[in-house]
Amino acid sequence: MHPIVADLLFYATAASYFAAFVLFLVHLTGNKHFVTALPKAVWLVGIGGVLHAAHIVVASLVLHVCPVKGIHFTMSVMSALACLVYVGMRTRYRVDVVGVIVAPVALTFLIASVVIGKGESADAGPMKSAILPLHIVSNVLGDALFLLAFASAVAYLVQERRLKQKRLTGLFQRLPPLDALDRAEHGFLLAGFPPLTIGIITGAVFAQRVEAGSAADVARAAFGYATWGLFAAVLLLRAMGGWRGRRAAYGTIAGFGFAVAVLLMYLFRGATGGEPVALLGGP
């Protein structure tokens, strides 16, 4: 397949995400002349997600690599997956406007996947293991859902701040209801936690097999466990101690921060000639 197809898909995806982001902002400003901005923005996120997925497939064919092999691809897969899950789940939670965070984050991940480092290859040996694909796929899925939980948490904090400060007009007046954002954040977190747990377990098993032990490996593992621990604490405290709303949102954002830190560790290891083999929870 000609590389230009992958390039075209890349630019089309980026344009879709960017246009969606602009339309979300137009909707949030409450401009009455653009009443259809929100549905158009949601459509563009969906189209972007499909184009993004197509880009990943075409690029992997062009580069002759597995889509979940390198960290750049996995980041790209994660953001495309997040966009598609968002489009699929938005009616359930009625948090369409969360796309204002999902679209630019997806765009950032898309650009980062081609700007930082190149499509380095992983060690063929570990890839033959049945555990590693499971580890990567579960972490990609978990991170995609955590991205949505993070977006909901950020939107929650903005909405909560507006209500606490009693500024009910102006920018962000069209944010979803507070309760819907809280439920969405909890729902995405709950959905993302089992894949993350699988990712952690498989990561730990995999680490044992390859007997990795460098400082970077330990740091990544530590951040991975911290991510799992934070999300587990947020879910547990919500169920047991009634930690909802702002506290849960802060916990979710912190957890996602750790998840992104793990991704960045892999990303920069890849950029400096390392070998990216996993997303989260282990070497």
Partner 1 sequence: MIVVVGLSFRTAPVEVRERFATSTDTFPQVLARLAARPELSEVMFLSTCNRVEVFARPKTATEPDRALALRAIREVLGAHASVTDTELVRVVYEREGHEAIRHIFRVAASLDSMVLGEPQILGQVKSAYDAAVAAGSLKNVLGRCVQRAFTTAKRVRSETALGAGTVSISSVAVDLAKSVFGDLQKHTVLLLGAGEMAEAAARSLGKGAKAIHVCNRSSSRGELLAQEVGGQAVPWADMEQELGVADVVVASTGSPSFVVTRDMMKRVMKARRGRTLLLVDIAVPRNVDPEVHAIDNVFVFDIDDLEAQVAIGLDARKGEAARAEVIVEAELAELVKWAQALDVQPTVVALRAKTKGILVAELERSLQGRLKHLGETERAALLQMVESATNKLLHAPSTRLRSAATTENGGELVNAARTLFDLPEAKPEPEDDDGAEASEPERVVQ
> Rule CB under 8 A: which residues touch partner 1?
94, 159, 163-164, 166-169, 176-180, 182, 241-247
Smaller CB separation from partner 1, 104 or 245? 245
Nearest-approach distance from CB 177 to partner 1, in angstroms? 4
Nearest-approach distance from CB 248 to partner 1, in angstroms? 9
234: CB partners within 8 A, 6+ apart: 189, 243, 248, 251, 252, 255
Smaller CB separation from partner 1, 1 or 163? 163
Nearest-approach distance from CB 89 to partner 1, in angstroms? 16
Nearest to 178 by CA among 242, 95, 256: 95
Smaller CB separation from partner 1, 33 or 166? 166
Judged on CB neighbours under 10 Å (0-12, 13-18, 19+), 170 is exposed
Distance (Å, whole) CA 122 – CA 129? 12
Smaller CB separation from partner 1, 18 or 250? 250
Q: Side-chain half-sphere of 271: how many Cα atoms within 13 Å?
A: 13
Name the token pair of 183.
């439920």
Smaller CB separation from partner 1, 93 or 150? 93
Q: Side-chain half-sphere of 247: how many Cα atoms within 13 Å?
A: 11
Name the token pair of 24.
């979300």
DSSP 9-49: HHHHHHHHHHHHHHHHHHHHTT-GGGTTHHHHHHHHHHHHH
Smaller CB separation from partner 1, 78 or 149? 149
Coil, strand or helix at 94: coil
Nearest-approach distance from CB 83 to partner 1, in angstroms? 23
Nearest to 220 by CA among 234, 203, 232, 196: 203
Smaller CB separation from partner 1, 46 or 176? 176
246: CB partners within 8 A, 6+ apart: 156, 157, 160
Query: In angstroms, what CA-CA distances link 199 with 18, 37, 206, 280?
Result: 31, 38, 10, 7
Nearest-approach distance from CB 92 to partner 1, in angstroms? 13
Nearest-approach distance from CB 8 to partner 1, in angstroms? 40
Nearest-approach distance from CB 245 to partner 1, in angstroms? 4
Smaller CB separation from partner 1, 40 or 94? 94
Nearest-approach distance from CB 52 to partner 1, in angstroms? 30
